[in-house]
Structure 1
Amino acid sequence: MSTAAESATTADAAALAERYGLSKSAARPPFWGYLRELWGRRQFIYSYARARTYALYAGARLGSVWQILTPLLNAGVYYLAFGLLLGTAKGIANYPAFLICGMFVFTYTQRSMTEGSRAISTNMSLIRTLHFPRATLPLAYVVNELNQMFISMGILLVLVGATDGVAWRWALIVPALLLQTMFNIGMTLIFARLGTFLTDISQLLPFITRTWLYASGIFFSIPDKLASLDAPSWVIHALALNPISAYIDIARRALLDEHSKHALPNAWPIAIGWAVVAMVGGFIYFWRAEDRYGRG
């Protein structure tokens, strides 16, 4: 077919669609309308997240008990490796709670990003069959990890309560988790889009997050470590800009009585800033490719 004939056919189809009030099924909706659609699908997001959790542990003999065992076993391995063998526990009160809090907070972000990077690519059949806001899929992955985080935090609260006692400052864990969830939503949306069109990103993410793990002060106090190395104060302020370090720090401030001695500077403002920037930027970045998901 000639170019002229193709143009004529396209024009005729466009005129016919306009005549009968038809629109492209995969067209990108306006941004605020897109957010309203997402809110309307909130029950689907929650139900899909629960279904993923059930499917994840369905084949295991202990079932959902692994939701409790997995974070505890991970924390135990890192306590043995870093707290005992490498001696990073020195000078830190209640080091088991210090370490476990850092691991739980980091794992929440790590798994949200890693699982979210495959949210679109592993659900192509669903995307090509039904019309719905594609952001519901990565959001469901974040909800799934948030449910796991609630279980992990319950374990941590029992541990801290048994060692340090219950305190009113525990209430600060609510805004701390809210800010981290906002950050996770934004980062998951970003990596969901990247994982759709750059399939190798899922292979690279474990190396990226592993490097992030060792640089975020999970196993040691960043200010104490830098002080022992006689590092200038600006280095501490620079490292405090790491979003994971900020979220770990504000969670430890809420739960651990002695953490004020090891706290990072400006952790709350940094945590708020990253939450807003990541969530707004992530939504816009993901939404701009809405009409491209499921093609090919």
Structure 2
Amino acid sequence: MALDGVTRDRPDPHAAELASRHGLSVTGARPGLIEYIRRLWQHRYFIGEFAKARSSTKYTRARLGGFWFVLTPLMNAAVYYVIFGLLLGTSRGVEDFISFLVTGVFIFTFTRDTVTSGVKSISGERGLIRALHFPRAVLPLTQVTVKSRQIAISMVVLMVIVIARQNFPDWSWLLIVPVLALQLVFNTGLALWAARLGSKSTDAAQWLPFVLRAWMYGSGVLYMVEQRAADLPAWALIVLDVQPAAVYIDLMRYALMSPENFGAEYLPDHVWLIALGWAVLSLVAGFLYFYRAEEEYGRD
């Protein structure tokens, strides 16, 4: 009887052959990379509709509703202006500090919010993951889509502010589109990285905001880096200038603000190649990092 029990517990040696013959595969198995990308493309309409649903329900209980998408970075900018611009004097030596500050806050907020929503995209949807079979990258990509819709609205408000500050539209405003496109690609890679991180570490959503806040302070959002960090070694200044958040913020300032207020002399050399390099590196590394754990999401 014991021998019979052992025999029953062993897998049928012909099971794999039968499964292969009839086109069966392990449930939740990770497909090949190209096939995975193809399946993601097939779910593009679902991502769009899911993002629309998430956007419409986020502030359903708030009286001002979706206006908080814009009001939150505006209120942050006002607080930073009082504390840093007026009390600490970081506005000294910066032409049109209000446009400088608001642009930095809006653009960094795009990256920060994408990462913080991405870190919860897997851990917050375990029921959906266990109920349905779909490429798990759909979830962080949905969050990226939500934040992309929000920045599109925020950019309208930002443009109104800079126009009110006498920065009138010119040909440089056409650069807004490629700058946002490169930042979107960069943010997508970070969201995918954060999604896997958050799925494995329940504490990631707690400590990541502190890292992002430190990143903001080092990205020239609140001050001109060249002025406030002039005493640092030359290599440290270069790192601060070419790190991705600073690059996308400075490019947007260059696009929106007049040359008298923020000209090309404030941009690092080969800035567009640097922006493209960060975007490609983030997307490829983030996607591969997320993809390698595809079979593990929702199983713990």
Length-normalised TM-score, structure 2 = 0.92
The one-letter amino acid paired with 2:290 is F
**Structure 2 gap ranges (5+):** none
Does the Cα contact within 8 Å between 1:240 and 1:267 map onto a contact in 2? no
Deviations along 1:97-123, whole A, 9 cap, x unmatched? 100111111111111111101101110
Please say if 1:272 is aligned against 2:273.
no
**2:193 paired with 1:190:** yes
Q: For the residues of structure 2 that align with 1:42 and 1:85, how far apart are their CA atoms?
A: 48
Label 1:7 to 1:220 Cα distance change in 2 as closer, same or farther (>3 A): same
**Secondary structure at the residue paired with 2:175?**
helix
**How far off is 1:238 after superposition?**
2.1
Determine the structure 1 residue equivalent to 2:286: 282
- Written as runs of structure 1 = structure 2, the 5 A alignment for 1:245-260 is 245-257=246-258, 258-260=261-263
**Cα shift readout 1:235-279 (whole Å, capped 9, x = no counterpart):** 321222311111111111111122125334443222111100010
CA distance in 2, matches of 1:11, 1:241: 57
Query: Where does residue 93 of structure 1 map in the other structure?
Result: 95
CA distance in 1, matches of 2:65, 2:221: 29
Alpha-carbon RMSD across the aligned residues, in angstroms, is 1.9
Is the Cα–Cα contact under 8 Å of residues 223 and 263 in structure 1 kept in the other structure?
no
CA distance in 2, matches of 1:145, 1:39: 19
1:249–1:267 CA contact under 8 A, matched in 2: no
Deviation at 1:8, TM superposition (A): 3.6
Out of 146, 167, 171, which is 2:148 matched to?
146
CA offset digits 1:13-58 (Å, max 9, x no partner): 3233223221112111111111111111111111111111111110
For normalisation by structure 1, the TM-score amounts to 0.93
User: Does the CA-based 8 Å contact 1:221-1:262 persist in structure 2?
Assistant: no
| 2:235 matches 1:234 | yes
Is the aligned partner of 1:292 residue 2:296? yes
The one-letter amino acid paired with 2:200 is F
Taking structure 1 as reference, are residues 26 and 6 closer, same or farther at Cα in structure 2, changes over 3 Å only?
farther
Aligned to 1:116: 118
Residues 159-182 of structure 1: per-residue CA shift (max 9 Å, x gap): 112221111101111111111111
**Which among 166, 169, 172 is matched to residue 169 of structure 2?**
166
Structure 1 stretches lacking a partner, 5+ long: none
Query: 2: CA distance between counterparts of 1:158 and 1:246?
Result: 23
* 1:9 to partner: Cα distance: 1.4
- Structure 1 pair 137–95 and aligned structure 2 pair: CA distance change class (3 A): same
How many residues align? The count is 294
Higher mean alpha-carbon deviation, 57-66 vs 135-144, is at: 57-66
**Deviation of 1:291 (Å):** 1.2
Structure 2 letter corresponding to 1:49: A
| Distance in 2 (alpha carbons) for counterparts of 1:182 and 1:49 | 17
Q: C-alpha separation between the residues in 2 aligned to 1:252 and 1:262? A: 10
Q: Which residue of structure 1 aligns with residue 224 of structure 2?
A: 221
- Matched residue SS, 2:262: helix
Which residue in the other structure is 1:81 paired with? 83
Paired residue for 2:44, among 42, 59, 78?
Answer: 42
**Which residue identity is paired with 1:174?**
V
Asked if 1 retains the 8 angstrom alpha-carbon contact of 2:242 and 2:268, the reply is no
Q: SS of the residue aligned with 2:149?
A: helix
Q: Contact 1:240/1:265 (CA < 8 Å) preserved in 2?
A: no
Q: How far 1:4 moved relative to its partner? A: 6.5
Q: Which secondary structure does the structure 1 equivalent of 2:298 belong to? A: coil
- Identity in percent: 45
Output the CA distance in 2 between the equivalents of 1:292 and 1:66: 35
Tell me the CA shift for residue 11 of structure 1: 2.9
Q: 3-state SS of the aligned residue for 2:242?
A: coil
Q: Does the CA contact (< 8 Å) of 1:249 and 1:264 recur in 2?
A: no
1:204: which partner in 2?
207
Q: Which amino acid aligns with 2:295?
A: D
SS at match of 2:254: helix
SS in 2 for 1:93: coil
